[in-house]
Chain A
Amino acid sequence: MPTSHRTSGKHSALATFARRPETGSLIGFVVVFAFFASLGGPVFIGAPGWSSWLNIAAEVGIIALPVGLLMISGEFDFSVGSVVPASSMTAAMLSGHYDLPAFIGIAGGLGVGLAIGFVNGLLVTRTSIPSLIVTIGVMFAVMGLTLGTAVLIKGSTSVSYVPDPTTKALLGQFINGMFNVAILWWIGFAAVFFYILHISPVGNWILAIGGDRESARNAGIPTAKVTIGLFMASGFCAAFVGVAQVMTYQQAQVAGGQAFIFNSIMCAVIGGVLLNGGAGSIIGILLGTMTFAVVNQGVFFAALDPNVGSIIVGALLLAAVLSNDSFRALAMRVAAKKS
C-alpha cells in the first residue's frame, strides 16, 4: 500500500509539472539555449554571451510584461512602438535642448507614456472599437506628433543629451562594461507585475476580464479601471525603455521603436500567454522573452545568417501556440478526470 501511494504521489508531481502553463516555455528556452550554446562556443556560454542576450531581453522584456498582462485581459497595445521614441524625444528635448535637470526630463518622458496609456484605456473602455484598432490609431497619431513637435522645436529629427553621471549610472550604465543596468530594472518590474498578477486580488480580476468581460463586470470587478490601469502600465514601461535608451545612447531619434510592437507580443506568446486572453503568467513571459533574446543574439555568436534567426523566432511562435494548446488540453483532461 505505501509503495503504491508513493508512486501515485510521484506521478501526480510530474503531472502537475506538465500541467503548469510555463512548462512549454521552459522547454522551449532550454532547447534554444542548448542549440546556440553548442554552436556559439565558450564565448556565448560565458559572461559576454549572457550579458549580450540579457541586454536585449531586458529592454523588450520591460515592455513585454505589461503587454502580456494586457493580452491576458484580452487587449492588445500596438502604441508602445511610438511611445518609445516619443518619450525618449521628450526626455532629450527637456533635458538636452532646454537644459532642464535630468529628473524633469525623465518625469516628462514617463508622463508622456502614462498619458498615452490613459488615452488608450479611455478609448478602449468608452467606445466599442477593438483595442487593436485603437492602439494602431494612437500609434500613428503619436508618431506624427513626435515628428511634428521635434521639427518645430529643434528643426531636426534627432536630439543629443549627455546625462550627468548619476542619471547615467541609474538608467544607462553597463555594469562591468557589459551588463546593462536595464537588466536590474527588468527584474524589478517583473517582481512588481508578479505581485499584481499572482498575489494581489487585481491579478484574478485581470484573468477574469480576459476570460469573460461581461461576467467579470457582473461579478463587481471594476473592469474599466483595471483596463485603463493596464494601458497606463504599458505606456509607462514603454516610456521607461525610451528614457533609458536616451541615457544609454546619449541621443533620441524620432524613428525607431517599431520593432518593440511585434517583439513584445512574440515574447508574451512564446511565454504561453493566450492570444484571446484569460491565461498566462509572469514566469512564462520572462521565459518567452529570454528565449526570444537568445535566438536574436545567438545567431551572431553561431555565425549564422541573421535571417535564420527570424525564421527560428517565427517557428518558435507557432510551436509555442501549438504547445500551449496541447498543454491546456492535457490540463483540462486531467482536471476533468479528477472531478
Chain B
Amino acid sequence: MKLIKILATTTALALTASFAVADEHDGPDIFVIGDKPDDPFWSRVKLGAEHAGLVAEMHGGSVTWLGPQNYDNLGPDAAELIRQAIDQGADAIVAPNWVPEAMDPAFEAVVAAGIPLVIFNAGGIEAADRLGALNYVGTVDYRSGYAAGEYLANDGQSNGACLNSLPGAANIEAFCSGFQDGMIESGGSGSVLQLPATAFGDSTAMAQAVRAHLLQNPDIDALFAIGDQDTNAAISGVQQAGRMGAVEVCGMNFNDSILANIQAGTQACAIDQQGYQQGYFATSILINYVQYGTTIATREILTGPGIIDENNVELVIAGVEAGAR
C-alpha cells in the first residue's frame, strides 16, 4: 500500500514536471551555456544570469545553467550542451562561441529552430553577425589582451610573454595575440608560452613552467596570464626564478588574493571582464525579448576591459565588499 502511494506520488510529480516544461504559455525559459560553475570567474557570470533570472521567474519562467564537467573537450562539449538546450525546449539561448569550428553547427541549429540567441563572453560581434544572433555581450578578447600589453609596455617593460594554458580555445588565442600586439605597438616585443592542456587548473604546473621559461629566457620582463589562478601561480614562478621586481605580471580577472597582490605591488595590473554583467545583461536581453519583444538597439555590448592597478584597487575592493563586483 505504502509502495503504491509512493509510486503514485512520484508519477504525479513527474507528470507535473513534464507539463511545466511543455506549457507554451509559461514565462521565458532561458538556457545559459557557460563554463564549469566552480570556476571563480564563471561563478560570477552564473550569479549575474541567476539575478536576471529573477525577472524570468516573476513571469513564471526560468533560467537554466548548463556547463561542462571538465575542460578536456571544451568545444564539442559546449556544442553538445547547446543541442541539449534546444531539445529541452529553450525559449532563448545564451552561449559563448569558444571554439567556432566545433560550435558553429550547433548555433546554426539554434537559429534554424527559430530560437532567439545571444552570444556572450567569447566570439565578439562578428560571431553574432555570422550566426544570426541578436547581440553580443562581453569583452573583445583581443582588446583585453591588448590593454594588458599596452599597460605593461607603457610601464617600461620591453619583452612580454603570454601564458597560454588552454591552447586551441579561440578566446585565449585572441588574448595572447592582443597582448603581443599591445606590447609591440607600444615599442616592446611579445611571444607566447604554450602549456600542455593537462596543466590547466594546476598551479604548480603553471608556476614551474613560468620559472623554467624565465630561466631559459632572461630577457622576458612582462607576463600575461589568462585567469586568476594562473596569475597567482605565475607570480610564484617569478619569485622562484628570482626575478621578482624585474618581471611584471598582469592577468585576466581577479579575486581577493589578486587585489591584495596589486595593493602590495607584487602584481602590476588585472584586466576585469566584469563577468557578472555578462551573465546579467545577456540573460535579461533575452527575457525581455521573449516576454515583450523588446530589443536593444546597441549592437556589441562591451562589459570590459577595465584595468585594475594600484591607482584604483581600493575602489575595486570597496566594490567587492559591497557585492557589486
Known contacts A251-B232, A257-B201, A301-B216; 6 further A-B pairs (Cβ under 8 A):
A55-B207, A55-B240, A156-B44, A256-B201, A258-B70, A310-B198
B241 CB to closest chain A CB (Å) equals: 8
B257 touches A300 (CB 8 A): no
Task: List the count of A-B residue pairs having beta carbons below 8 Å apart.
Answer: 122
Chain B neighbourhood of A296, CB < 8 A:
205, 208
User: Which residues of B lie under 8 Å from residue A307 when comparing CB positions?
Assistant: 167, 194, 196-197
Contact pick for A160, options B36, B204, B209, B257, CB 8 Å: B257
B:238-256 near A, CB below 8 Å: 239-242, 255-256
Cβ contacts under 8 Å, A143 to chain B: 38
Please give the distance in Å from B76's CB to the nearest CB on chain A. 19
**B240 to A174, Cβ gap below 8 A?**
yes
B-side interface mostly? helix
> Which residues of the other chain, B, contact A27 by a CB distance below 8 angstroms?
none
Q: Which residue of A lies closest to B232 (CB)?
A: A249
Residue of B nearest to A144 (CB): B38
Per a CB cutoff under 8 Å, which of A151, A254, A256, A306 touches B203? A256
Q: How far is the CA of A93 from the CA of B23 in the complex (A)?
A: 43
Instruction: Check B240 against A177 for contact (C-beta < 8 Å).
Output: yes
Compute how far the CA of A303 lies from the CA of B215 in the bound complex, rounded to whole angstroms: 11
By the criterion CB–CB under 8 Å, are A305 and B203 in contact? no
Cβ-defined contact, A160 with B205, below 8 A: no
Complex CA distance for A9 and B216, rounded to whole angstroms: 48
B38 and A306 form a contact (CB under 8 A): no
B219 smallest CB distance to A (angstroms)? 14
Count of chain A residues with a beta carbon within 8 Å of a chain B beta carbon? 45
Instruction: Tell me the smallest distance from the CB of B161 to a CB of chain A, in Å.
Output: 12
* Contact bitstring A140-183, B, C-beta under 8 A = 1, else 0: 00010011000100001111101000000000001001100000
Q: Which residues of B contact A49 (CB under 8 A)?
A: 212, 215
A248 proximal to B (CB < 8 A): yes
- Chain A positions within 8 Å of B209 at CB level: 297, 300, 306
Judged by a CB distance under 8 angstroms, whether A250 is at the interface is: yes
Q: Quick one: which of A158, A245, A305 contacts B255, CB cutoff 8 A? A: A158
B257 adjacent to A250 (CB under 8 Å): yes
B216 touches A259 (CB 8 A): no
Given A52-B211, A160-B260, are A306 and B40 neighbors across the interface (CB < 8 Å)? no
Closest 4 CB pairs of A and B: A300-B212, A160-B257, A254-B38, A306-B196
Q: Can you name 27 A-B residue pairings with CB atoms under 8 Å?
A: A48-B211, A48-B215, A49-B215, A52-B208, A52-B212, A52-B215, A55-B204, A143-B38, A156-B44, A156-B255, A157-B37, A158-B257, A159-B256, A162-B260, A174-B239, A178-B242, A250-B257, A251-B256, A259-B198, A259-B199, A259-B205, A296-B208, A301-B212, A306-B194, A306-B209, A307-B167, A309-B196
Interface residues on B, range: 35 or more
Contacts of B205 in A (CB 8 A): 56, 259, 296
Neighbouring B residues of A147 by C-beta, 8 Å? 37-38
Q: Nearest A residue to B202 by beta-carbon distance?
A: A259
- Identity of the chain B residue whose Cβ is nearest the Cβ of A84 in the assembled complex: B202
Question: Chain A at the B interface: mostly helix, strand, loop or mixed?
Answer: helix
| B229-A256 in contact (CB<8A) | yes
Query: How far, in Å, is B155 (CB) from chain A's closest CB?
Result: 24
Q: Give the nearest-CB partner of A46 in chain B.
A: B215
Residues of B within 8 A of A56 (CB): 204-205, 208
Name the residue on B nearest A259 (C-beta): B202
Interface: A25 (CB within 8 A): no
- Complex alpha-carbon distance, A52 and B241, angstroms: 9
Q: Is A75 an interface residue (CB 8 A)?
A: no
Query: Closest residue to B42 on the A side, CB-wise?
Result: A157
A260 — nearest CB in chain B belongs to which residue? B202
Evaluate whether A158 and B208 lie within 8 angstroms (CB atoms) in the complex, with A174-B239, A178-B240, A300-B216 already known.
Answer: no
| Inter-subunit contact A43/B215 (CB<8 Å) | yes
Closest to A263 in B: B198
Distance between B216 CB and nearest chain A CB, rounded to angstroms: 6
Interface string of A47-87 (1 = CB under 8 A from B): 01101110110010000000000000000000000000000
